[in-house]
Structure 1
Amino acid sequence: MTSASWRDGRRYLWPSAVVVPILPFLSYGIVTQTGVEGWWWLTPGLVFVLIPLVDMVGGDDVGNPPEDLAKGLQADRYYRWLTYLYLPLQLGGLVLGSWQWQRGDLGWVGLAGVLVSVGTVNGIAINAAHELGHKRENLERWLSKIALAPTAYGHFYVEHNRGHHSRVATPEDPASSRLGESFWRFWPRTVLGSARSAWHLEFSRFTLRKRNPWTWRNDVLNAWVMTLVLFVALTVAFGPGLIPFLLAQAVLGFSFLEVVNYLEHYGLRRSFNGSRYERVDEQHSWNSNRLVTNMFLYQLQRHSDHHANPIRRYQILRTYDTSPQLPAGYATMIVVALFPPLWRRIMDPRVIEHYDGDLDRANLHEPARARLAARYGPRPGGTLATETP
């Protein structure tokens, strides 16, 4: 196919990305009509059950848009508005969930469903914030911080862009998981480490300019203030009993982000020449070309190209044959990551094979070295004793 005849065959599939924030409204309507509180579990059911199942039969999309059309696609505001649209739906869902939580007519099944639904929507909103936060336009950068406010994770805007992208796939990066490290060990390390890193980066920026960091121009502080204003406004509107809900959905939301961080660079490491790390390339991120999940996540799964070219918009991200590939889409792998024995059985052999059995080339969780060496060490003939499931 020539560039002149190429058309984006997924153009009218991209609105799938705003299906998830619509689901809480759909749940509310169905519960109102039927009285069946279980419908409040529609959102997590779609995200964690239906999408992984559909992903298995939906196949891969391995095509790339012609590079000479990239500039025109990048400028097409249709794609941009699809990211903007997530925000009002996200915030509307948070208000709806807050009202339902405080209304007092739901049992524990309904309340738990509201909490998990809102947390899921706000967690996926961090992906929209991720897309917006990498762009040069001030409007999109501010929208990114607004999308992060419900999860109290506004510091992600600083840490991800200025910390993670420079340290990715190195032991110094709190958002890059290590071979042999479970998600449950990774979670506290990345949550605390990312917050500390963001504050240090922003404090250093003001110190170098000999300016006071305690200002509204501090991108960590103004992002956190957005969360405070939002939570105070909702608490005033619906009552102090809302506070546990707001805190719990925030933890669920940013945990959704961190499980994605966990799988994106698991065990991958850039080589170090004694003075600096090699440049980030397509081999330092786990990719997936699963069509369905890519539609729902603004093509986040083409993560290698994103790290190589952070300002490229989602519609023109490319896939590479040389990128390590996940065995399934993010929707499936998120669930797998929550069960460390299953995750290790699926992913550890892939990382070790990627580095030809050399544990020292991987980003290794040192306490797991002996276990990994015993299980995957070289056989007498020198071949790698991997155990591909």
Structure 2
Amino acid sequence: MAADLRQDSRHGTTDPPWRDPKRYYWLMGLIVPAFPFLAWGLVHATGLAVFWWLGVLLLYVVFPLADLLIGKDSANPPDSALAWLEQDRYYRWCIYLYLPLQYAGLVLGCWLLTTGDLALVDRIGLTVTLGGVAGIGINTAHELGHKKESVERRLSKVALAQTMYGHFFIEHNRGHHVRVATPEDPASARLGESFWRFLPRTVSGSLTSAWGLEKARLRRLGTGPWTWRNDILSAWALTAVLFCALTAAFGPGVLPYLLGQAVFGFCLLETVNYTEHYGLLRERTASGRYERCAPRHSWNSDNVATNVFLYHLQRHSDHHANPTRRYQALRHDDDAPELPTGYAGMILLAYVPPLWRRVMDPRVRAHYDGDLTRSNVHPAKRARYGVPA
């Protein structure tokens, strides 16, 4: 790697070599889109139909345990290596390869769902496994969608087609990154708000926000929203073409499973959204505007396993500070509040609101030195937290 050696121009000396210790670990992210192939192979190798549920086993059991067993890595690359890391195209191909595997697995899954001799419970398990691939595929789309190169932005829309969540491309980049950690952001969870209350609010709010943002953009261009230039409509058209093609190939019986895996996929994404900014709030300045987004406005995790599978998404503070920075160059920040484990474990906690509150509410309180008036409290829960209405 070109950044292995760095020259100190002021002293004419060469510092010790620096190598990216995770360089080849990023290929492990391709295990996720291989879920359907692994499930099929394990079922045939063992005769155990439980492996149709491989996505559940890996996402909810293996990955959380791996985070706990492997631990954390808070090391950052040196400043002099960042430019080389950004330019090394190897890391881009680790992302690009997700997409052909994602859609090859989807085709395999549709074939198995419609031609395989599967019981209903097995079909549901395979549908959830496909949904796990699709959900993490939204994270792949997230990485691609923030980049300036047009090919990567197009690939982002392709990755989103499987989950019917093409509007995420608009809302995340132009909505969430502007309003993050404020009551106006549908993707920022509030203190005391359960995941099950957050889910319908963020799904509907993100869709409404995305449509409004795109409508405003097109208005500035002198046209209405019902045009091929509408990025939301073009993204949804990709989903329609994909689902119609798969229905034509495998019959109408595949459509309920396509819808099921899409819903599971975008719900998985929203569980991660729930985790990333829970209870955190940007203060208003004297001008009435919100302060600039800082590391303290995102929950971070340096757990290695989930960071590898999610392309450093858990270094979320640096991502909000530098949205176009590529995943391999994202950095740990000591000022960012730290989650007790990786996103995989936090997803499990989110599903059980009393357990979530028991783990996370004290951390929010400690983050604000006991002053919860500085946090983003759910309006209906202000009395519980002693915050004036």
**Partner of 1:373: helix, strand, or coil?**
coil
Identity, % of aligned positions: 60
| Alignment correspondent of 1:166 | 178
| Alignment correspondent of 1:346 | 359
| Alignment correspondent of 2:327 | 314
Alignment of 1:112-191 (within 5 A): 112-191=124-203
- Could you tell me how far apart the structure 2 residues matched to 1:105 and 1:348 are? 47
- Could you tell me how far apart the structure 2 residues matched to 1:307 and 1:105 are? 47
- Cα deviation 1:131-189 (Å, max 9, x = unaligned): 00000011000100100001000000000000000000000000000000000000000
Q: 1:355 aligns with which of 364, 368, 379?
A: 368
- Cα deviation 1:323-368 (Å, max 9, x = unaligned): 0000000110011100000000000111111112222211110211
| Alignment correspondent of 1:36 | 48
Q: 1:331 aligns with which of 340, 344, 365?
A: 344
Q: 1:8 aligns with which of 13, 20, 43?
A: 20
Q: 2:223 aligns with which of 199, 211, 219?
A: 211
- Could you tell me how far apart the structure 1 residues matched to 2:309 and 2:117 are? 32
Report if the CA contact (8 A) 1:37-1:109 is conserved: no
Q: Does 1:17 align with 2:44?
A: no
Which of 26-35 and 248-257 deviates more?
26-35
**Partner of 1:144: helix, strand, or coil?**
helix
Q: 2:250 aligns with which of 238, 242, 251?
A: 238
Amino acid at match of 1:230: L
Question: 1:215 deviation in Å?
Answer: 2.1
Which of 111-120 and 95-104 deviates more?
95-104
- Could you tell me how far apart the structure 1 residues matched to 2:386 and 2:379 are? 11
| Alignment correspondent of 1:268 | 280
Question: 1:288 deviation in Å?
Answer: 0.3
- Cα deviation 1:362-386 (Å, max 9, x = unaligned): 1110211222239xx9xxxxxxxxx
Q: 2:295 aligns with which of 272, 276, 282?
A: 282
| Alignment correspondent of 1:54 | 66
- Cα deviation 1:204-246 (Å, max 9, x = unaligned): 0010121233222211110000001101111111111111111
| Alignment correspondent of 2:12 | none
Which of 250-259 and 40-49 deviates more?
40-49
Report if the CA contact (8 A) 1:132-1:144 is conserved: yes
Report if the CA contact (8 A) 2:35-2:130 is conserved: no
- Could you tell me how far apart the structure 2 residues matched to 1:247 and 1:59 are? 36
Report if the CA contact (8 A) 2:306-2:343 is conserved: yes
Aligned-CA RMSD value: 1.5
**Partner of 2:156: helix, strand, or coil?**
helix
Report if the CA contact (8 A) 1:293-1:330 is conserved: yes
- Could you tell me how far apart the structure 2 residues matched to 1:66 and 1:217 are? 42
Q: Does 1:297 align with 2:310?
A: yes
Amino acid at match of 2:196: W
Alignment of 1:103-114 (within 5 A): 103-114=115-126
Report if the CA contact (8 A) 1:38-1:109 is conserved: no
- Could you tell me how far apart the structure 1 residues matched to 2:47 and 2:240 are? 34
Amino acid at match of 1:195: L
Question: 1:104 deviation in Å?
Answer: 4.8
Report if the CA contact (8 A) 1:178-1:266 is conserved: yes
Which of 49-58 and 300-309 deviates more?
49-58
Question: 1:33 deviation in Å?
Answer: 3.8
- Could you tell me how far apart the structure 1 residues matched to 2:48 and 2:64 are? 25
Question: 1:41 deviation in Å?
Answer: 1.6
Report if the CA contact (8 A) 1:51-1:292 is conserved: yes
Amino acid at match of 2:341: A
| Alignment correspondent of 1:380 | none
Question: 1:26 deviation in Å?
Answer: 1.6
| Alignment correspondent of 1:384 | none
Q: 1:192 aligns with which of 199, 204, 218?
A: 204
- Cα deviation 1:21-52 (Å, max 9, x = unaligned): 11210211222344321111222211210111
Taking structure 1 as the reference length, the TM-score comes to 0.94
Amino acid at match of 1:38: V
Question: 1:108 deviation in Å?
Answer: 2.6
Count of aligned pairs: 375
- Could you tell me how far apart the structure 2 residues matched to 1:46 and 1:187 are? 23
Gaps of 5+ in 2: 7-14
Amino acid at match of 1:74: E
| Alignment correspondent of 1:255 | 267
| Alignment correspondent of 1:371 | 384
Report if the CA contact (8 A) 1:152-1:250 is conserved: yes
- Could you tell me how far apart the structure 1 residues matched to 2:65 and 2:25 are? 18
- Could you tell me how far apart the structure 1 residues matched to 2:231 and 2:378 are? 32
- Could you tell me how far apart the structure 2 residues matched to 1:128 and 1:85 are? 10
Report if the CA contact (8 A) 1:235-1:243 is conserved: yes
Question: 1:110 deviation in Å?
Answer: 1.5
- Cα deviation 1:88-112 (Å, max 9, x = unaligned): 1111111111111112510133212
Amino acid at match of 2:289: R
- Could you tell me how far apart the structure 1 residues matched to 2:157 and 2:26 are? 23
